[in-house]
Structure 1
C-alpha cells in the first residue's frame, strides 16, 4: 500500500523537475524555432547560471535575489557574443554544423569548470525569505520548491505571451519564415537573431539560478539534464513554444508517478514516451505536420 505522503512527495519532486524541464526546453524551443539552431550548449549555459550565482555569493556577497536579475543578463550577454562571433556564420549551412559547434562549446565550458572546481558539488543556501515549509497535512511543502514551480510557470507563460501575442513576437516569427522581407520593412534581422539567442540562453541561466539551492552546483549538472530536455522538446514538437511548456510539466509528473509505482523505469520513462510519440506523431505532439 502506497502512503499518501509518499505519493504526493514524489509528485512534488516530479513537478519540480518538470519546472526545470519546461524552462530549459522553452529556451531550446525559442532558439530552434526562431533561428533554427540546435543549441547543445544549453545544459552548459544552465550550469553557467548556477555557478555564476554561487560565485557572486561567495566572492562578492551578492545574494539570491540580485542574482535572479544579474545572472540571466550576464549569461544572455555571453550568448549574444557567441551568436555574433560564431553562430551567425552557420545560418546558411546544414543544422548539423550548429549542433557540432554548440556541442564543442558545451565540452569547453564544462571542461574548464571541472578543471578549476573539480567534479564535486558546491552548496548554495536557500534564501532566508523562502526557508522552511508548510505542513499541509497530507505532505510537507518546502516554500522554496513552491516558489520554483510558481516562478517557472510565470516565466513560461510570460515568454509564450511575448512570442505569440506581441509585435516583437510577430517580427521574430516572420523573420524565421522570410528574413529578407522583414529586413525590407526596416527591422534589423541580425540584431533580432542575436537577441533571440541571448534571450533563450538567459532562460537557461535563470533556470540555473533557481536550481542552485535545490541541486548541488557542479560542472556536470547541465550535461545530466540536457539529454532529457532535448527529449522533452522532441515530444512537444521542435520549435513549439507551448509544446515545450506542456511537455516539460507533464513529463516531470510522469517521472514522479514512475518513481512511486515502478521506480526501475523512472530514469527511462521520458525516453519511452518519446519513442511512442515519434512512432505515432513524428513531428511531436504540438508540431506542425508529419
Structure 2
C-alpha cells in the first residue's frame, strides 16, 4: 500500500475529496454572502437559513409532489430567491440608512424564525434525500472510489461560481452592480433602478444559498440545523477572502475546504478549528482579507 508521510494514499485522497466537496459548498455560500455584502452592505445572517430552506423545498417537492432532483434544482433557488426578494423589499430596504447592526440583527432574527418553524414541524433529525438515479453509484479510479454525486457537486459548483464571477466582473449588469456599490446616487441618475437592483441582488444571493442547499441534501441529509451548523464557518471563509470580494469568496472557499480535509488526516483534533485559526492569522496580517480592499 502506497504511503505518504505514513498515511495511506487512499485515505489521503479520500479526505481531499471530502475537503473539496465541503469547499464547494463553502465557495457557493460565501459567494452569495459576498455579493449581498458587496452591494447592500448587509451581513446576511439568514444565509444559513436560506441554504436550509432550499434543501427543505427540494425534500418537500419530492415527498409531497413527487418532483425529483433536477426540477428542484431550478424550483428551490427561484422560490427562495423570490421569498428573499420580498423580505428585502418589505423590511431590509428600510434599514439601509441606519446602522448596519440593524440589518445584521434583522437577518439573525429571520434565521431564528425560519429554523424554529422547521424544527417545530420536522424535529432536529435529518431527513434522507436520495441522489437522482443518473448520479447514483460511483467510479473506480484505480487509486480511489469516486461517488458520482460527489464529482457532480464539485463540477457543478465550479460552473456556478465561475459563471457568477463572469456575470459580475465581465458583463454590463455586473458593471452596474459594481458602480452602484461605489456611488448609487450617480447610477440612479443614469436611469438605473437602484432599488430594484438591490432587491434582485439580495434575491440572487439567497438563490445561490438555496442552490447549495438542494445540492447538499443527498450528502448531509435535510435538517433544520444544517444551516446554523455551517454559517459560522462560511462567515470565516468570507472574512479570510475579504468582505465583498467575489473572487476571494470562491478561492478561499475551495482552499479552506481542502485545508480542512488535510487537517483531518494529519491532525484530526484541529480540523474543527483550523479555518478559524487561519482567519485569525489573516486578520493579524491583512485585516481586509486576502482579496479585500484596504479602506
Q: TM-score, normalised by structure 1?
A: 0.99
Match of 1:212, SS?
helix
1:23-34 counterparts in 2 under 5 A? Answer: 23-34=28-39
Alignment partners' CA distance in 2, 1:29 and 1:13: 24
1:269-280 counterparts in 2 under 5 A? Answer: 269-280=274-285
1:18-167 counterparts in 2 under 5 A? Answer: 18-167=23-172
Match of 2:174, SS?
helix
Following TM superposition, by how much is the alpha carbon of 1:178 offset from its aligned partner in structure 2, in angstroms? 1.1
Alignment partners' CA distance in 1, 2:237 and 2:48: 14
Following TM superposition, by how much is the alpha carbon of 1:175 offset from its aligned partner in structure 2, in angstroms? 1.0
The partner residue of 1:208 within 185, 190, 213 is: 213
Q: Please report the RMSD computed on the Cα atoms of aligned residues, expressed in angstroms.
A: 0.6
Which of 168-177 and 228-237 deviates more? 168-177
Following TM superposition, by how much is the alpha carbon of 1:85 offset from its aligned partner in structure 2, in angstroms? 0.5
Q: TM-score, normalised by structure 2?
A: 0.98
Alignment partners' CA distance in 2, 1:67 and 1:142: 21
Alignment partners' CA distance in 2, 1:132 and 1:289: 47
Per-residue deviation, residues 251-278 of structure 1 (Å, max 9, x unmatched) = 0000010000000000000000000000
Query: How many pairs does the alignment contain?
Result: 290
Match of 2:146, SS?
strand
Alignment partners' CA distance in 1, 2:163 and 2:22: 20
Match of 1:159, SS?
helix
Unpaired stretches in structure 2, ≥5 consecutive residues: 1-5
Following TM superposition, by how much is the alpha carbon of 1:216 offset from its aligned partner in structure 2, in angstroms? 1.3
Structure 1 residue ranges (4+ consecutive) displaced by more than 2 angstroms after TM superposition: none
Match of 2:220, SS?
coil
Tell me what 1:224 maps to. Answer: 229
